[in-house]
Structure 1
Amino acid sequence: MDRAAKTANIYRLGIKELRSLWRDPMMMILIIYAFSFSIYVSGTAMPETLHKAPIAITDEDQSQLSRRIVSAFYPPHFVSPAMVGLDEVDRGMDAGHFTFALDIPPGFQRDVLAGHRPTIQLNVDATRMSQAFSGGGYIQQIVQAEVAEFTRGTRAGPPPPIELAVRQRFNPTLAQSWFGSLMAIINNVTMLSIILTGAALIREREHGTIEHLLVMPITPFEIMAGKVWAMSLVVLMACAFALKIVVEGVLAVPVEGSALLFLAGAGLHLFATTSMGIFMGTIARSMPQFGLLLMLVLLPLQMLSGGATPRESMPEFVQTVMLAAPTTHFVKMAQAILYRGAGFDVVWPQFLAIAAIGAAFFIVALRRFGQTITTMA
């Protein structure tokens, strides 16, 4: 069979996969959700700053300074403080009504003016992690600023001996949506490509259509290549939609680098992950088995690739092993392009690594796929 005929077979088999996917409503819903609402939720689920944190204040001093401190807590960082007695603090925190409880002791203003160092007690409900982590620092700064203004009459003080100029690169406002939304796209590209190719193979086995392919004059390579290009195209188009419409449009997240360069890297990454999906589809005998196998593979790929935690903070053994995973190089490449505006002259080592890993996965998956359909024949 000449090369033109092989190419035509691969094209027709890919069209068959696209039509089969179009007739699968659950898979279509999964694709739409993963690259629309899921991206939006990932970018907005965690607050970027402290927002409407409930706080209770026990003012045992009833002085001008204590009233200044109470009036310093207002929306949007905090809700209006609930003024409670000392006996109500523990009961309110136990019931989850307050995240913070501030106790201003009696004689507080007198001790401050006398030059003493009185203590204010702050109770924090540490089970509310997103608020407890940053809220303590906010409250400390507010109290110190109010006390300083009260004692000096102004917030201005003597200049420090040195000045530290802090500049946040690539995310000046430390916005959570910038990180969450783009990392969701990166993770969903990996997840959907594995699911779609693995599910397509299992669906053919369950429906008996794989036997129809075996009697046709086509090779395992053509069958596998048809699945790879079809599912890669679907994920790549959904990725482009999510990047331009959801991330840049709805969430207004600026993308520093070339979207086309990122999509080229994503296409190369899809070559590796779709091959992984086919390999996993030859191992699992049903969709429930494939789902269990997917959890064992997908979680390490996403958690240990450097997207959730910097690789430098992981054990050296894990860092070395994860170099064999395409997600490690894809995350590094995608972050360099999308966050830091890197060009091909910077990310070409990641392109090369993904291409090599993808070729290895494709060869292994093709051999396994050929053995599987030969056994079925």
Structure 2
Amino acid sequence: MRRLANILWLGLKELRSLAADPVLLGFVVYAFTFAVYAQAIGISHELHNASIAIVDEDRSALSQRIIQAFRPPFFRTPEVIPLAEVDRRMDAGRDTFVLDIPPDFQADLLAGRNPAIQVNVDATAVMQAGIGAGYIQRIIAEEIATFLGTAPAVPVELQLRAAFNPNLETSWFTGVMAIINNITMLAVLLAGAAVIREREHGTLDHLLVMPVAPFEIAMAKVWSNGLVITAMTGLSLWLVLRGLLGVPVAGSVPLFLGGVALYLFYATAVGLLLGTVARSMPQLGLLFILIVLPMILLSGGSTPFESMPRPLQVVMLAFPSTHFVAFAQAILYRGAGLGIVWPQFAATGGIGLLVLAAALLRFRAAVAEAVA
């Protein structure tokens, strides 16, 4: 009981230290509020306001229909330009797409021939280039079919149903992933900063002369920083995700927060490890870039885990961040229950405890070095 009491009071000391650091406290609040909102609305995978110009060499009723079919919000109102301007405008980056409707396009189509429309795409805007080319093809096909009074000839008619995100809203994905990524980032930085702050302020020496063990000091940092991040995650889901962005959360929020608390044993342990290696906050930042950022990027939140090379997938399965992203997406996007995500919970907890044990051993060794 005495050991638990020491961990409790030392953890309360950590919370007071965090409250007395306005810069770090402000960063925590920013990461779970404005940063989540800005990432959700600022990064869009949909086509929006794409610049398009059209060379109309046919000047027919059909070409006019095609020009008028490109409207906001997907495309800007098209500019009709001469053929000689195409290269100059694309070199200057003024247009992402330029359509060239050839002479006699309508006449050839009515005569049963197969005329071609040239679509020039600025592929340096790779996201808009890939999506926009598909939009353009569909818009032109629909206008031609309407003009001719026939349905486009396709062997199979596809009925597309988008599950879990019917309108394909990017903010539904990026908002949730911003919270998930910030949990890892803040857990590592807060735990590492807590160790470095003790060393820089000289309070670690004061703790060592008190009747407390290194295990108690480390566990106090784990639970206090984990409590702050779990609480901020819940507030961010409620205020930012549901309130400001209007993103529905399909699954159980308590189950997700329970998984967050389990994952934080691993993430804060990584912070303790880095805090014992780094001697200053700049060094901690460099180690974070070297170790934690690749872990976040390769955990399946930024790109589909299945699209990575198989050897890299095997390596990343040894990191709880991969299992954390998997069960977080399953709960928040697809409404999965514990009966579905328990393997990811078990993997996160098991690997996290191993890393926590290694972090505690390293922390004890660092304390012994400080005493010596």
Q: Quickly say closer, same or farther: Cα 1:254–1:200, change in 2 above 3 A.
A: same
Q: Does residue 1:136 correspond to 2:133, yes or no?
A: yes
Within 5 A, what are the aligned runs for 1:155-194? 156=151, 162-194=156-188
Q: Quickly say closer, same or farther: Cα 1:36–1:211, change in 2 above 3 A.
A: same
Q: Is the 8 A contact 1:220 1:369 kept in 2?
A: yes
Of 190-199 and 142-151, deviating more is 142-151
Q: Which amino acid aligns with 1:290?
A: L
SS of the residue 1:57 aligns to: strand
Q: Does residue 1:256 correspond to 2:250, yes or no?
A: yes
Deviations 1:113-168 (A, max 9, x none): 1111112111111112232121111111122222222223xx5467x665433322
- Which residue pairs with 2:320 in the alignment? 326
Q: Is the 8 A contact 2:181 2:296 kept in 1?
A: yes
SS of the residue 1:103 aligns to: strand
Q: Which amino acid aligns with 2:77?
A: S
In percent, how many aligned pairs have the same letter? 54
Deviations 1:193-230 (A, max 9, x none): 00000011011111111111111110001100110111
Q: Does residue 1:371 correspond to 2:348, yes or no?
A: no
Within 5 A, what are the aligned runs for 1:232-311? 232-311=226-305
Q: Is the 8 A contact 1:58 1:102 kept in 2?
A: yes
SS of the residue 2:296 aligns to: helix
Q: What's the TM-score once normalised by structure 1's chain length?
A: 0.94
State how far apart, in whole Å, the 1-side matches of 2:220 and 2:197 are: 15
- In structure 1, the gaps of 5 or more residues are none
Q: Which amino acid aligns with 2:265?
A: F
Q: Which amino acid aligns with 1:33?
A: Y
- Which residue pairs with 1:57 in the alignment? 54
State how far apart, in whole Å, the 2-side matches of 1:277 and 1:226 are: 13
Which of 93, 97, 100 is matched with 2:97 structurally?
A: 100
Which of 65, 87, 92 is matched with 1:90 structurally?
A: 87
Q: How many residues align?
A: 371
Q: Which amino acid aligns with 1:344?
A: L
Q: Does residue 1:79 correspond to 2:76, yes or no?
A: yes
Q: What's the TM-score once normalised by structure 2's chain length?
A: 0.96
- Which residue pairs with 1:203 in the alignment? 197
SS of the residue 2:120 aligns to: strand
State how far apart, in whole Å, the 2-side matches of 1:9 and 1:298 are: 30
Deviations 1:311-346 (A, max 9, x none): 222223222222221101111111111111111111
State how far apart, in whole Å, the 2-side matches of 1:310 and 1:55 are: 31
- Which residue pairs with 1:313 in the alignment? 307
CA RMSD for the aligned pairs?
1.5
Q: Is the 8 A contact 2:141 2:152 kept in 1?
A: no
- Which residue pairs with 1:221 in the alignment? 215
